[in-house]
Amino acid sequence: MKDLGGGGLSCAISETADALSVGIELDVSLIHKREENMSPSELMVSESQERMLVITDQEKLSTLKRICAKFHVPYSVIGSVTSGSVMEVRLEKEVIARLPSEVVANAPLLDRLAIQPKYLENIKLTQKQVVANAPLLDRLAIQPKYLENIKLTQKPSTPENLSETLMKMLANPNIASKQWVYTQYDHEVGIRTVIKPGSDASVLRLDNNKFLSVKIDGNSKHCYINPRQGAIGCFDEACRNVVCTGAVPIGMVDHLQFGNPEDPEVFWTFKESLEGITQYAKYFGIPCVGGKVSLYNQTNIGPIKPTPLIGVLGLIETKPLIPKKIQENDFVVLIGETKDELGGSEYYEYMHDTIGGKCPTVNMESSKANQEIVLELISQDLVKNAHDCSKGGLGVAVSEICIRNEIGCVISLDKIPAQKLRIDELLFTESHSRYLLTIDPKNIENAKSLLEKQGIAYRIIGKFSGSNIAFKDGNKRVISVRVDKAQERWLNSLGSLVSHG
């Protein structure tokens, strides 16, 4: 059985014949169709959705027909397997194509020219440089060569009012709750949904009493600055999200969206992204089980930013981590190191209209260790809630936990495992491989023992209490916002933007 995707029947037939080392002959006049007067070439290359190619034997064909009839699924018997390795297409008695399936299925590879985009030299910046006017670039998707002479500016200064900054970050469409979207669709088909949309990942119950965790992630801002590390980061983020439900990542699919591959600079970003995904998949042993490539996404203004999307499937053998209600004095534990990696961050682009700097990179050894320890803590029932740090950094991640649980917290920024960073960098950098765990006081010693035994970078950075989201630097509070105000901003901003513009 094979689904009909890109290339339609032409690809499905040739690839199946080649994989099975058989020949296949088919008659396009037998294909059931929605439109009349379709030409043979249209029938062979149509990419109509929700179609499957099935090969069965004469004995089982009648059973297959009964199953299709039972579920009102239209079907056609369009051909048969033959000896040899030839793909033959007929229109009734007329042969209109006859080729070795190996030739059709295995097209020769193109050795395209790949050149590092010139714009990357302008955003390979020192600590004090970024590129200005990011929203304009984001809107126009300017082709890399147009950026050769763009003006460099100084690194943005720390905002005076960080409470106001956090509230604005929570209203950012890339960060705000997506409930306006997902509540318009039925996400409980088959009554299998155990963890609904809106959490780190969704979880479905399987018939064998196991559970499937699913998440898709992407970050074109990171990929624009560093296509390889950006793609690796998308993969790592999707893995972190399924890990937060107690799932072991077991497979991935990708959707790779790029501009014109005939442009050597665009092709370089495509190649770098692919190599990054391959590197991560091999290190973690996660197979790519499917995907799609969408190219030539551009206008006469230029291409889109490199946009790989990574979907990860995770398997839960026993039970998922269903978030428990957070209580007063529950601990906030941060796993993973926070680094000076604000390049491509929502903070830079949304708050400061800037792009550039160093985007977050993934240390695969640390990432693997952090994934494993989080799964171990969850399996020992030591964690109430697990949430990854991604878009918006620590400041947003902590706020999201407080908003969902309608409880405040006090976080000590000076306790964060980090290099010497500014306050806004500690709050909003998007370093990978970080997790926020909520742990009951009665379990904290057991959790600390496991973390220290494995040599994991972690710190207890605060407690939940009160009705304010508070961050302090030493004894000084640098942020204090009411949970209900933050919740209103986070929940309603996207819907309001779409409704009122």
Instruction: List the one residue out of 422, 233, 208, 235 whose CA is nearest residue 312.
Output: 235
Q: For 276-316, what is each residue's pLDDT tens digit?
A: 999 999 999 999 998 889 999 999 888 999 999 999 999 99
Please check whether residues 43 and 192 belong to one and the same domain. Answer: no
Task: Answer whether residue 122 is part of any domain.
Answer: no
Range of the domain at 12: 2-105
Residue 183: its pLDDT value, please? 83
Whether the per-residue pLDDT at 147 is higher than 60: the answer is: no
Residue 497: its pLDDT value, please? 87
From the CA atom positions of the chain, what is the Rg in Å?
26
Residue 124: its pLDDT value, please? 57
DSSP string, 460-500: EEEEE-SSEEEEEETTEEEEEEEHHHHHHHHHHHHHHHHHH
What is the rounded CA–CA span in Å between residue 346 and residue 171? 11
Residue 395 zone, left/alpha/beta (φ > 0; ψ -120 to 50; rest): alpha
Residue pair 355/225 in contact by the 8 Å Cβ criterion:
yes
Please check whether residues 144 and 86 belong to one and the same domain. Answer: no
Whether the per-residue pLDDT at 146 is higher than 80: the answer is: no
Q: Are strands 409-412 and 468-473 parallel, antiparallel or unpaired?
A: parallel
Please check whether residues 375 and 242 belong to one and the same domain. Answer: yes
**CATH number of the domain that residue 57 is part of:** 3.90.650.10
Task: Answer whether residue 186 is part of any domain.
Answer: yes
Tokens at residue 137, please?
């670039």
Confidence band of 69 (pLDDT split at 50, 70, 90): very high
Q: For 338-367, what is each residue's pLDDT tens digit?
A: 999 999 999 999 999 888 888 999 999 999
Q: What is the number of alpha carbons within 13 Å of residue 482 lying toward its C-beta? A: 4
**CATH number of the domain that residue 464 is part of:** 3.30.1330.10
Q: Could you tell me which residue, 348 or 107, shows the higher pLDDT?
A: 348
Structural domains of the chain, count: 2
Beta strands in 71-133 (DSSP E): 79-82, 86-91, 94-100, 129-132
CA 231 to chain CA centroid, Å, is 9
